[in-house]
Structure 1
Amino acid sequence: MAKKILNTFILALAFSTAFGQYLTKNSLLSDLTYLNEAVQNGHPVNYKDKKTEDIQNVIIEAKKTVSDTLKPFEYTLWIEKAIFNVGCVHTSIKKNPLLLPSSTFSYFPCALKMSNSEIIVKNCTDTLLIGHKILSINKTESSKIIQAFSQYKASDGKSDAFAKQYFQLASTKLIAVLLNNPSVYEIITDKGVFTLPATPKGIFDIEAKSPREYHLINNGNFLSFQNKIPILRFTDFSKSDINFIQKSFRAIADRNSKQLIIDLRQNTGGNRKASIELTRYLADSVFSYSILQPKLKTKSYLDGKGKFFLFLSKLKYNIGNVHKGHKTALGKEFLYRYTPKKKNNFNGQIFVLTDGFTASASTMVTSWLKQFTNANFYGTQAGGGYNGNNGGTFPTLTLPNSKIEVIFPAYRLILDRRSTVSQGIIPEQNSIETNTNYNDIIQIINGVI
């Protein structure tokens, strides 16, 4: 799963070595101004009140602090920071022509984690460093590293949940890019000074142990029974999961299980129909969501390809789902309602595991479970929003100077219209991490730890 997310979200970084090229401050400010206008006038974060959300604070900071020229990765950091301040997990860089391919790239030799304004070593080629607190790397203080990457990837509601999770996964690459791909690293920690060579392969956090036995498997998803407790693990949602979900709840019902663990850690979303099918086996009453096409000028800022995708999505909803749509003061809204399953519906204790990568369709599930079940949440804050997210279709815009291509969602998905909570759910119990083993999780749930 780590490799899947790495390939999806680090595509630009996987080719970044254009260290000799420089770009101008004026180009950056022009790109930021264009993006700001697009957010104010066309982004669904402003579906209620036009222009209340913007990136003006980033533009002001850039005017004050940026030098006349920037390296490509510095430029990218500013664009990522601007996107972070939009507060939408689906808004992201799709293509970055500033960062060029390389066959000679090497990696920082440790996997790191940001925690409470500190950087902790999670894994390393020198295992003595595991657990150490980083003070500096090649004379770059940890505070500067946190400043660079704490707003590197966006979450719904402007939390840092997704950014922290991303850093923990990709720090082996991010540190190398930030420090211009050195061959040797001087690492100062709270316990000493260490000199380590760069490594030709990335170093990742130690992975959790897999269950000893699987009852059902579908791609990377599985049902396993551990200490008689069913564990349903979804690394993402696909159309084929619908049949897998039906079989899983039949097996859970056959065993008369009273507790159920739903593991949505590292689940960045996927097929909405599968997430709905899962919820139908868990919810205790009718649940719904709506897709709003806001009265915004999104089309004006999209590139040619983006305008075409937006046109296709309009056909899909306005013709294919015309019977579900109705006009509102905010735009045209399409409402979808679902009833719980009568057969094999689970009515025991539900425990949901989340982390910073839990987003999109997986946080549709968490929102519904928060509203319509007795579920308890464990892990770390989800990157996807509780009361909704921006999606439905994902056209692109291209920044005028750098030609960076940005995914720019056009619609608003409303999950709980009564709530003002736009950030992801914060679990009641936060001692469970992405790589916590299931035996330990079960002990935590049962109050042993």
Structure 2
Amino acid sequence: MKYKFLLLIVSLLSNFSFGQNSSTKLSNQAVKDDFDYLYQSLQATHYNLFAFQNREKYDELFLQLKSNLTTDSLDLLETISLYQRLVSFANTGHCEIDYPAKPYIEYAYSGGTVFPLELAFENEKVYIRRNFSTNKQIPIGDELLTIDKVPIDEIRKQLYPFVSAERDYFKNAKIEFWSFPRLFFQLNGRKDNWQIQVKNKNNEIINTEVSSISVMDYETNRNGEIVNPKKALKFYGDVAYLNAGQFGSNEANGEKLFKNFIDSTFTVIKEHNAKNLIIDLRNNPGGHNAYSDYLISYFANKPFKWYSEFSVKTSKILKEHTTLQADTTDEYSRNILRNPDGQIFKYDFPPHNPVEKSKRFNGKVYILVNRQTYSMAAVSAALIQDYKFGKIVGEETGDVPTLYASQFSYTLPKSGIIVKVPKSYIVRVNGNKKLEGVKPDIYIQDHLLDEKDEILNGLIIRLEETTNR
């Protein structure tokens, strides 16, 4: 159906509070009240809001944005865009307000249109990864230089305040993740024609025009989100390929179902006498370590942890969030509840043990990653690399394995907008605190994030060459 991918957006952005009708204007005072609460609550809940930003500059931005609130009212799209500017200034990937899904969907149903080109950001260049326009003179893979005579690099920087991330490389990945046409609409509103300049593969500069596409057609044609790992098990000769999917589930028994899947999968791998195992963590949003640890236990050769240091900052809002859990009797939750608000405390989880030797995979392990490998998926890749459980293949992850994470959310009282914040600080297993992603042992670029699988195919070719030597 034409609308199925709009429903997918709603599903993916289910953390957004739909209590506030986006077509209803929020009063100037309500927006200011929530803006005050937002900044105060960010400081209270974020493990270290000023880790990457000077506090004086943050205060300055807050006052500047608030002073610009001169209209009588704002709609939900304007309000979210304003609040994102404050939140993203922290330059913390796990401190964010999601894309304004409800206003976007209402815009779609009212006949809204968007820019027709999806883009890929690679090596300081911007490539056309999909062309949904009627102008078929623009091949996939051409480099986009300008839109309406504005350099694409300048437009990209105009989008950064809507995107929370530690560094530009990660921000670019998140623009791909949320999609350039959606963010470009959020920045500029509706427009139906653009003059663009592209450079083709022969280094020729071409000036041309593209017309908009309806949001409905855009969401249908793009065929789902970039970050959408799907469970799969395949065999290429003596090579087993496994995509275990996301490390989390909304189902009540999701963890049990995941573990059952891993148990049965490794039974099949063992029956096939696979000598090499490829685990795909590309386009993976991460999740909970209970999932990733269980997967890793099937090829780990010693007890392991997913961090070298782990600490948490408690707060009144976090305590309220924690008490809503079904069970607060575990030691971790009790530490959150009994420490005073604002207190940072270290916590050490017990190491995870490998499965018994008879079940364990003993061949060579390769982990696929790309710039769309996030959160616990990136942390897991770092763990595997640091313990030498396997080799990392692909390109540097957008997310970083030493990070402010363990994200939780709370709602702004007047607008119903949901804010996500990191309550913990995680240091990767090897103790490296540099602001960098997981770097592959074998580098293969994921060009255009398209159906051509350079990383997997490139690795299989290498393994076949090794076998034939």
Band of TM-score, shorter chain: 0.7 to 0.9
Map of 1:244 onto structure 2: 261
Residue in 1 aligned with 2:213?
Answer: 198
Matching of residues 84-233 of structure 1 within 5 Å: 84-93=88-97, 99=103, 101-102=106-107, 103=109, 104-125=111-132, 126-129=135-138, 130-150=140-160, 152-155=162-165, 157-158=166-167, 160-161=169-170, 163-167=172-176, 170-190=179-199, 191-199=206-214, 200-202=216-218, 220-233=230-243
Deviation of 1:95 (Å): 8.5
In the alignment, which of 294, 317, 322 is matched to residue 312 of structure 2?
294
Deviation for aligned residue 1:331: 1.5
Following superposition, the deviation at residue 242 of structure 1 comes to 1.1
- Partner of 2:252 in structure 1? none
Q: State the AA in 1 paired with 2:450.
A: N
User: Aligned partner of 1:201: which letter?
Assistant: D
Structure 2 Cα separation of the partners of residues 374 and 110 of structure 1: 40
Please name the residue that 1:344 is paired with: 359
Residues 365, 92 of structure 1: CA spacing in aligned structure 2 closer, same or farther, 3 A cutoff? same
Q: In the alignment, which residue of structure 1 is the partner of 2:45?
A: 42
CA positional deviation for 1:91: 2.5
Structure 2 equivalent of residue 261 of structure 1: 278
1:424 to 430, 437, 444: 437
CA contact (8 A) 2:411 2:419 kept: yes
Q: Distance in 1 between matches of 2:26 and 2:338?
A: 50
Q: Deviation per CA, 1:374-420, whole angstroms, max 9, x where unpaired? A: 522233333443135421x62315287x6633122434455537331
Partner of 1:176, secondary structure, is: helix
Which residue, 369, 388, 403 being the options, matches 1:373? 388
Matched to 1:294, the amino acid is: V
SS at match of 1:370: helix
| SS at structure 2 position matched to 1:131 | coil
Shift of 1:78: 5.0
- Per the alignment, in what secondary structure is the counterpart of residue 337 of structure 1? coil
Would the alpha carbon gap of residues 160 and 310 (structure 1) be closer, same or farther in structure 2, given more than 3 Å must change?
farther
Kindly report which structure 2 residues correspond to 1:18-97, keeping only aligned pairs within 5 A, or say none: 35-45=38-48, 52-54=51-53, 56=55, 57=57, 60=60, 76-77=80-81, 79-93=83-97
Select between 134-143 and 286-295 the one with higher mean Cα deviation: 286-295
CA distance in structure 2 between the partners assigned to 1:317 and 1:84 by the alignment: 34
Structure 2 unmatched ranges of 5 or more: 200-205, 249-254
- The answer on 1:394 being equivalent to 2:420 is no
Distance 1:82 1:39, change over 3 A: same
Q: Which residue of 1 aligns with 2:322?
A: 310
Q: Which residue of 2 aligns with 1:212?
A: none
Distance 1:273-1:95 versus aligned 2 partners, 3 A rule: same
* Structure 2 SS opposite 1:377: strand
Equivalent residue letter for 1:286: P
Q: Secondary structure at the match of 1:174?
A: helix
Superposition deviation, residue 263 in structure 1:
0.8
Residue 232 of structure 1 deviates from its aligned partner by: 0.7
SS in 2 for 1:350: strand
Q: Secondary structure of 1:193's partner?
A: strand
1:220 to 1:366, Cα distance in 2 relative to 1, 3 A: same
In structure 2, what is the Cα distance between the partners aligned to 1:440 and 1:386?
Answer: 21
Cα distance in 2 for residues equivalent to 1:268 and 1:243: 21
Per the TM alignment, residue 20 of structure 1 is displaced from its structure 2 partner at its CA by 12
Distance, in Å, in 2 between the alignment partners of 1:368 and 1:222 is 22
TM-score by length of 2: 0.72
Output the amino acid matched with 1:233.
N
Task: List runs of 5+ in structure 1 lacking aligned partners.
Answer: 209-218
| Alignment-mate amino acid for residue 198 of structure 2 | T
Aligned residues between the structures: 421
Pairwise CA RMSD of aligned residues? Answer: 4.5
Does 2:434 match 1:407?
no
Structure 1: how far apart are the matches of 2:13 and 2:368? Answer: 22
What's the secondary structure of 1:123's corresponding residue?
A: strand
Task: Give, in whole Å, the separation in 2 of the partners of 1:189 and 1:108.
Answer: 15
Is the 1:292–1:413 contact (alpha carbons within 8 Å) kept by the matching residues of 2?
Answer: yes
Q: CA deviation at 1:69?
A: 5.6
